[in-house]
Structure 1
C-alpha cells in the first residue's frame, strides 16, 4: 500500500531553484528596507501555496513578522481576506472602514512591524469584490517602506481588474511575478525518491513508481498535485486515461481539497460535472444535457459556471469541453452519487449505440454496468475488446476479464467462455503479461474435450507464442508440433485461420532456434495452401518465407519476394499490422541482410501503438536491436549505444538473457569506436559479459552476436579471443552456423584474425572461402569486407600496389553504402600502402578523409589511430622505394637473379620448382616496370 501525506509548510517539489532565488531576492531587498509586491501565479496544484509558505519561512528566518490569510470563495464579508490576515494571525486589527482602511484600537501598527513585514494573501482569485479592489489599489500604489505584499492566485479565475493591475505593474517592473511551471521527468523522479527515502512508500511501490517516472510525469502534466493524486490511486500506465488507478478510496482521501472545490458548486453544476465525468474527455454540451437530464438550457448555465470556476475548459473546436485535467474528472466521477452514475452510464451506452459510436466507446460504459444489465454489458465488453485490442491491449484484457467474471457457467447470451478466455489470452500477450496469458491458455486446454478443433489450435498457438516470447524455445517447439498433430492429413482445404496462425508461430520458433532451413520448408508448404486467414496473416507468412530465403542466401528468389512483401506491408494500416507486429521486424531484418539499409530503418522504426511502452516488450526489443545495428553502420554511434541499452533493458524485463547478450555486444561494438584506448578494459569486460549471456551455438542470438564480439575483441588487441568467439559461435571451420548472407564478412574477419595470430596459410584459406561465398551473393558490402582482408594479405606479402587498389575499392563500397566507420577504418588501414605506392601526399589525403568521417560520427578511436599512422609516415615527400613493392619471396628471387643466377640455380638453392621461380620473377618485373635481368639488377643496385 502507498499513501502520500500532504506536503507540509516549506516542503517544496524539486526544480524550484529559480523561484526560491526570486523569493530570496525579495527578502534581501526587505532587509535593506525596500518593499515590493510579489505575485505567485499559475495552474491549480502547481505549487503556489508551497512557494508562499517558503516566502513565509524566509521572512521568519530574517525576523520579519508575517500576516497570512486565505480568501474564501462566496464570502459576503467585505475585505474578508484582510480582516482574517490581521485578526486571526496578529490579533490587533478590529477590521477596516468603508474605504478599506485598516484600524486598531491603538491606532498604530504593532512595534514589530516598524522594521518591515509581509502580508501574504492566498487564493486571491477567490477575494470578495471589495478585497479585490483593495488589492488592485495596493498593487498600483508605491510600496510604503519596508513592506512586502505577496499574493497567490489562479489567473483564469482572478478578478479582471486585479489581473489588469498586476499585468501593468509587471510590465512597469514594480511587481515580481513568479510563475512555477510543470515539473520535468527528472524532477518527478526526484520527488518520488524523496517520498521513498522518507518512508512514505514501500520498496515495491517505490521501484515501480521510479521506473514509470517519465510516463507518470506525462500523465500528471508535471503538476505536483495531480501527481500526488495519481500516485495515491495506484496509477497504472495501461489503464490511463480511462482510470486513474485501482485504489478509489485512496484517491478520494488524497483529493479532499479538490472535492471541497467540487462541493462548492451549485447543485446543477455538480450534476453537469458528474455527467461530464461519465462521458469522459472531451464531451459535448448536448451529450451532457442528455445524460444529466437537466435539459440543454440549464446544462449550458451549469457548464458556464464550471468554466468560470475552472473545473472545465474549452477543448478545441465544436464547443467541446474537457476537465482541466483528467484526474479532476475521475474525482468528480468517483465522488458522484452511485445511482446517478449507473443511470448515466446506461444512458451514455444507449446514446452511443443510437449515434453509431464505436464498440470500444460503449464498452467504457458497459464495464460500470455489470450486475445491472449483464447480458448487454457482456456483449458490449466483448465487442469493445475486439475493437481496441491492437491499440490498447491492457484495456481489452481488463474488459474481457470482467466479462469472464460475470459470465456464469459455460456462458449465456450466445457467449462462449472458451472464446472469451482465448480472446483475453491474446490481449494479455499483446500487453506483455505473458505468464498470465500462458496460464489461462493452459486452463482452456484442460477442458479440451469441450473445445472445437479451432479453439484447440488457438489455445496451442497462444501457448507457443508465450513460450517463445519468454525465451523457452524448446517448450514452444514441442507444443507446436503436438498441436500440428491435431490437424488431419491431408490438410483441410481451405486451411483454418487458426492452423495458419499456428504454422506462423512454429516458423518463428524454428527461426529463433536457428532452424531456418526447416522453417523455410514449413512456411513454403503452408504458403501454397488456401486459407481462411486474413490479409495481415497471409502477408506475415509471406514475409517469414522471404526472411528465411534471405537468411539462407537464396537471394535470387528472396530479393524480389522481399520487394513485394515491402509493398504489401506498407499498404497495411497500423491497426491491421499491429495484429502481427513481428512482420515489421522480420521484413526489416531481411532488408538488413540484403543491404537495403534505408528500407530496413523505415520498417524497423515504424511505430505501431501496440509495440510501444509496456506493451509488446519483446517486439520493441527486436526492433531496437535491428535499429541499433543500423545506427552503428550509419555512424550514429551514440544512438546505437542508446538503443542497445534500451533493448538490453527490455530483454531483461522479459527474461531473455541471450537477447540481452546481443544488446551488450552491440553496445560494446559501438563503444570500441567512440572511446579511447584507455577504456579497452571496460569494453573487454562488456564483451565477456555478452558472451556469457549468449549460449554458444544457440540459434539466431548467438550467430547474430558472433561478428560483433569478434571484431570488438580484435580491435581491442585480443586476436586469440576473437578467433575463439568466431569458431565457437560460428560452428567451427567454415563458420556453418553463421547466416550465409553474412558469412563472407565473418570469414574475412576470421582471416584477418589468423593473420594477426601469424597463421598466413589459414588466412589465405579463409579469404578464398570468403571470396567464393561473396561471388555467389553479389552483395557490395560483403564484397567490401572481403576485399579489405585480401588487401591485408597483400600487405603481408609486401604487394602494396595490389593492396592499395583493393583498399581503395573497399573504401568506395563502404562510402556508397553510407557506412562511415568502416569507410574511415579502411582508409586508415590502407594509408601505409598508399604511401608505398603513391607517396606521402596520397597517404595524407586518405588520412584526412578518414579523420573527417570519424569526426562526423564521433569515432574517437579512429581519429587517434589516423593520427598515429600519420605520425609514422615520412614528413617530407620522397620517391617510394620500389623494393617495398615486392613480397619477401619476390625480393629474395630478384636479388639472386640480379646477382647472375639462372632460374634453375635459384630453384635448387631455394628448393622450388623452376616454374615457380619464373612466376615470382615475372611478378617482380611487372611491379618494378622492368623487362630483363640487367634492368632488374640496375633497379636493385640503384636502391642500394
Structure 2
C-alpha cells in the first residue's frame, strides 16, 4: 500500500493524539513510557499506528510487537517479535548480555537469566537509540507473555537518559504489562465524535437505523463500525432489542454461549434484552441468585464482567450476539419477563411490551404514545419519535396509524435527520387518504428540506399544500405557507413572493399571517407590523417555538435589540425543552453579529456547521460558514474568512440560496478590503446586486451598500456604485428601517465629492438609536472623523475617533482598531496598543491560536476551530513563544490573564 495515500482522520481523540505526539516528539532524552488502556474496540491500535507513523515521519526508529492470545504461554515470544529487526546488533553487546538474550530466544543452550536478559534488552535499546530516537510500540500488551512483559517493564523503568519512548496498549480488566506506568485511559467517544465517525465511514446510514447504531454502540468505535455494517445488511431489523452483528462475530460468541448451562444462557439473554435505561435492580431481581451454580461458568466465559453488584457485557457487540443467538420465542419471553418486572417504570414497561407484541394492540400503542409525550416534554425528540413510530405500527386502524406516523415525522424534524423525516412521512402517506394527514406529513418534510439546496422544489410543494387546503384546512395551509416564506427568504426569489401574496389573503388573519408577510416582504406590508412585535412576543413567553419565530420577524425588520433579547430567552427555553431548531441558527448568528455579540455569533455558527454530513442540510451549514466568514473578516482573519466563504459557496446553488451567496460575497469583500485589494472587494460587493443594480436578495443585500461604496470609491467604480445606491434609496424610502436609511446616507457620503460628503455623514449618525448596531456606527464615526481630519478640523474629529476606537477594541475588530489608532495618532492623540507589548509581532491568526491554547485546547482542537492543520497550529505556537517570552504552553493562561488585568486597570 502507498504510505503516502491519505488516511481517514482519527475522530474524537484529539487530546490523546496530542499527548502521544508530544511524547514521541520529545527529544530531550530520557525514557518515556505510556500505557493506553481501554475496552476492546476503543481505538488503541489506531492511535498506536498513528503515533508510529508520526514517529517514522520524524526520522525515529520504530520497533513493534503485538501480543497474541495463542502465544501467551510462550516465554519471550513477544520480546523476540519486538527485537527481531535489530537482533544483528546484539553482536555488540557484552558477552554475558549477548548470551543471556540469545538464550532467552533459544539460540544458545544456556538457560536464560531474567535479570541479565533485562539488562541486555536495556543495552540493546540504548544502542539502537544512539543513531535515532527510538519508539517501542506494544499492541495488545495484555497478551504478551509474562517473561517478555517483565523484561520490557524492567528495561522501560531504567531508560533514564536514552531517547526511547515506550507505548503499550492494554485492554481494560486484563492483567498484563506493568500497570504502574503512566496510563492514558480511552473512554467511549462522545456523541458528536460518534456521529462524525459514522458520517465518515458509513455516510449512507441515516434515519432511525443510524440512531440505533449510535445508541447501541455507546461510543465504542469498533461497535459503531460493526453495527453500521450489519445495519446495511439488515436494513429492516426490528426496532426493539439490539441490532444484529455479522455472522462471524455472532458465531464466535454463540460458541461460548453453547458451553453455558441453561440458567446461564437465560440470564445473559435477560441482560441482552434489557436496555441501559432499565433500572439495574429490577433486572438483577430476574437473574439467578449469586450462589447459583450457573454463575462460575458465566464469568469464566468472559462475556460479562461484574461492576459492584451488577453485571454488564464486556463489549456492546457481545450483547448483540447474545440476543440474536437466542431463539425468537426466548427473546419474546425475555421481554415479557422484563415488562412484568418494570410495572412501576411506565416507559420501559411500554417498550418491553412492544417488543413482545407481534400484532396490533391498542393498549400497547397508547402506552407508547404516552411514552412519546413524556420524552418530548423532557426534550428527547429522537426517543419520542421512535416511540410514536412504534406506536403507529401497533395501532389498529390505518388512519390512526398514519396520524401517529405524521406526528412522529414532526418530532423527527428536531433531530435534523431529513432521511428519517422522509421515511416516516412516506410511511404515513402509504396508510391514508386523509388530506390533512397527507399535508402534515409533507409539511414536516418541507420544514427540514428547506435547509437543503432544493429550495425551488420544496417551495412549490409547500405552496401547493397551502393552495389546496386554504378553504378546507386553513390552519394547516397557513403552516405550509409560513414554511414556504422561509424558503422565499433563503432563495430571494421574487416569483415566490408573488405566489405567497396570491395565497395569503385566503388564509385566516392573525400573528402567523402577519409573520408570513414580514418575512416574505419586509419593505412592503411587513414594516407596518413592527410596533406590534413587543406585545406579541410578551404573549408567547414559555413557548420557545413561537418566541423564536417572532424574534426572526424582529430581526428582519431591524428591531435588533428586541430580536436578540427574544432569541436569548428562546434559546434558554429550547435548551431545557429540547434541541434548538437548526434552521434558525443562521438568523440567530446574524442578529448576534449585528448587535456586536461576535463571540456568541461564532459559537452558533460552530454548532450549526457541526451538523452531520448524513443529514445533507447543505444550506444550513453553508449559512453558518458564510456568517462565520463575515465575523472572521471583521476581526482581521482574511484567510480564514476566504476559506469559510468559499466553502459556503461550494455547498449551495447560488440561485437557490441567494441569501447565503450574499453573506459569502460580503465576507469576501470585507476580507479583500482587510488586505487592501479594493478592486477585488468591489467585484465581490458588486455581486450582491444584480446587473441592473437591484439587490440580488431583497433583504440581505442592502446592508452591503457601504462596502460597495467604499470599495467603489477606492477602485474607480464610483459612477456604477452611485446608481446602485440611489436605486436602493428609492426602495428603502418607502419601507426601509432607520438602520438601512442610515446606511444609505453613509454610502452617499463615501461616494460624494469631498466637499459635499458631510451632510451624508451627519445624517448617518444623526439618530442615537443607531448605536444598536455598534460596528456599523463605529465605521461611520471613523469615516466621518477621517473626512474631518483631512479638512483640518482635527478638534471635531477627535471625539468621533475615540468613540470608534473604543468600539472596535471592544469588538475585537483588529483592522478597524488599527485604522482608528493611526487616525488618532495623526490627530495628535497618543493611544496605547490594545494588548500593550504582549502581542506585538504576532499575526491575528497567531493571536487567535495563542488565546485558544491558553484556554487549554489541543492543537487539533484549535485546528478544527480555525480550519488549520495541527502541524500548522504547532508551528505558529513555536514561533509565537519567543515573542511572548514564554517557554511552555502552561504559561499562556497566566500571560493572557495578566494582559486582561492590565487592560482593566488602565481603563
Smaller-chain TM-score bracket: 0.5 to 0.7
Shift, 1:344, TM fit: 1.6
Equivalent residues in 2 for 1:717-796 (5 A)?
717-718=678-679, 721=683, 724-725=686-687, 727-728=689-690, 738-739=698-699, 763=722, 770=729, 779=738, 781-782=739-740, 784-786=742-744, 788-789=746-747, 792=750, 796=754
Checking the alignment, whether the CA contact within 8 Å between 2:335 and 2:355 is kept in structure 1 is yes
- Cα distance in 2 for partners of 1:706, 1:455 equals 41
1:797 matched to 2:755: yes
Shift, 1:281, TM fit: 1.4
Partner of 1:252: 249
The superposition leaves residues 340-363 of structure 1 with CA deviations (integer Å, 9 ceiling, x where unpaired) of 3221212333454x32613xx345
- Cα distance in 1 for partners of 2:46, 2:626 equals 49
SS at match of 2:307: strand
Checking the alignment, whether the CA contact within 8 Å between 1:71 and 1:121 is kept in structure 2 is no
Partner of 1:342: 332
- Cα distance in 1 for partners of 2:340, 2:193 equals 41
The superposition leaves residues 636-676 of structure 1 with CA deviations (integer Å, 9 ceiling, x where unpaired) of 66875786687678699777887777666535534543447
The superposition leaves residues 294-313 of structure 1 with CA deviations (integer Å, 9 ceiling, x where unpaired) of 47997999999799997353
SS at match of 1:596: helix
Equivalent residue for 1:817, pick from 769, 772, 778: 772
- Cα distance in 1 for partners of 2:630, 2:75 equals 67
1:831 matched to 2:831: no
Cα distance, 1:563–1:109 mapped onto 2, change above 3 Å: same
Equivalent residue for 1:694, pick from 654, 675, 681: 654
Equivalent residues in 2 for 1:294-693 (5 A)?
294=288, 311-313=305-307, 329-335=319-325, 338-352=328-342, 354-355=343-344, 357-358=346-347, 361-362=348-349, 364-366=351-353, 368-371=355-358, 412=396, 416=400, 418-419=402-403, 422-423=406-407, 425-426=409-410, 434=418, 451-458=433-440, 461=443, 465=447, 468=450, 475=457, 479=461, 483=465, 498=476, 501-502=479-480, 504-505=482-483, 508=486, 513=493, 519=500, 526-528=507-509, 544=516, 552=524, 554=526, 557-560=529-532, 562-572=533-543, 577=545, 583=549, 586=552, 589-590=555-556, 593-599=559-565, 601-602=567-568, 605=571, 608=574, 619-620=581-582, 622-634=583-595, 666=627, 668-675=629-636, 686=646, 693=653
Equivalent residues in 2 for 1:696-711 (5 A)?
none
1:113 matched to 2:85: no
Shift, 1:599, TM fit: 1.9
- Cα distance in 1 for partners of 2:63, 2:751 equals 84
- Cα distance in 2 for partners of 1:828, 1:835 equals 10
The superposition leaves residues 500-527 of structure 1 with CA deviations (integer Å, 9 ceiling, x where unpaired) of 6445445555666556687589668745
- Cα distance in 1 for partners of 2:446, 2:639 equals 46
- Cα distance in 2 for partners of 1:726, 1:17 equals 43
Unaligned runs of 5+ in 1: 1-12, 31-35, 73-80, 91-101, 171-175, 194-202, 530-538, 877-944
SS at match of 1:116: helix
The superposition leaves residues 557-585 of structure 1 with CA deviations (integer Å, 9 ceiling, x where unpaired) of 4343x334434544137xxx4xx898477
Checking the alignment, whether the CA contact within 8 Å between 1:587 and 1:600 is kept in structure 2 is no
The superposition leaves residues 79-134 of structure 1 with CA deviations (integer Å, 9 ceiling, x where unpaired) of xx8x76479999xxxxxxxxxxx9x999953699385359x99999999xxx99x9
Cα distance, 1:544–1:297 mapped onto 2, change above 3 Å: farther
Checking the alignment, whether the CA contact within 8 Å between 1:743 and 1:773 is kept in structure 2 is no
Checking the alignment, whether the CA contact within 8 Å between 1:673 and 1:861 is kept in structure 2 is yes
Cα distance, 1:65–1:773 mapped onto 2, change above 3 Å: closer
Partner of 2:272: 277
SS at match of 2:246: helix
| Bigger RCO of structures 1 and 2 (CA < 8 A, at least 6 apart) | 2
Shift, 1:486, TM fit: 5.5
- Cα distance in 2 for partners of 1:17, 1:772 equals 56
The superposition leaves residues 838-895 of structure 1 with CA deviations (integer Å, 9 ceiling, x where unpaired) of 755775675566456445544343245446656876899xxxxxxxxxxxxxxxxxxx
Checking the alignment, whether the CA contact within 8 Å between 1:394 and 1:427 is kept in structure 2 is yes
- Cα distance in 2 for partners of 1:17, 1:362 equals 45
Cα distance, 1:386–1:507 mapped onto 2, change above 3 Å: farther
What is the TM-score normalised by the length of structure 1?
A: 0.57
Cα distance, 1:228–1:543 mapped onto 2, change above 3 Å: same
Checking the alignment, whether the CA contact within 8 Å between 2:504 and 2:513 is kept in structure 1 is yes
- Cα distance in 1 for partners of 2:671, 2:78 equals 74
- Cα distance in 2 for partners of 1:644, 1:109 equals 64
Checking the alignment, whether the CA contact within 8 Å between 2:240 and 2:355 is kept in structure 1 is no
Cα distance, 1:272–1:284 mapped onto 2, change above 3 Å: farther
Checking the alignment, whether the CA contact within 8 Å between 1:68 and 1:121 is kept in structure 2 is yes
Aligned residues: 755
Q: How large is the Cα RMSD of the aligned pairs?
A: 7.2
Checking the alignment, whether the CA contact within 8 Å between 1:65 and 1:116 is kept in structure 2 is no
Equivalent residues in 2 for 1:2-81 (5 A)?
15=16, 40=35, 42-45=37-40
The superposition leaves residues 216-258 of structure 1 with CA deviations (integer Å, 9 ceiling, x where unpaired) of 999867766556655655599x9999989855225835x95x8
Checking the alignment, whether the CA contact within 8 Å between 2:560 and 2:772 is kept in structure 1 is no
- Cα distance in 2 for partners of 1:596, 1:383 equals 37
- Cα distance in 2 for partners of 1:476, 1:334 equals 42
Checking the alignment, whether the CA contact within 8 Å between 1:665 and 1:705 is kept in structure 2 is yes
Shift, 1:467, TM fit: 6.5
Cα distance, 1:641–1:335 mapped onto 2, change above 3 Å: same
The superposition leaves residues 397-440 of structure 1 with CA deviations (integer Å, 9 ceiling, x where unpaired) of 66677777x77xxx846874544554465466555565776688
Cα distance, 1:638–1:299 mapped onto 2, change above 3 Å: farther
Partner of 1:861: 815
The superposition leaves residues 461-504 of structure 1 with CA deviations (integer Å, 9 ceiling, x where unpaired) of 45765775656555556555655566596x6xxx6765564454
What is the TM-score normalised by the length of structure 2?
A: 0.59
Checking the alignment, whether the CA contact within 8 Å between 1:668 and 1:686 is kept in structure 2 is no
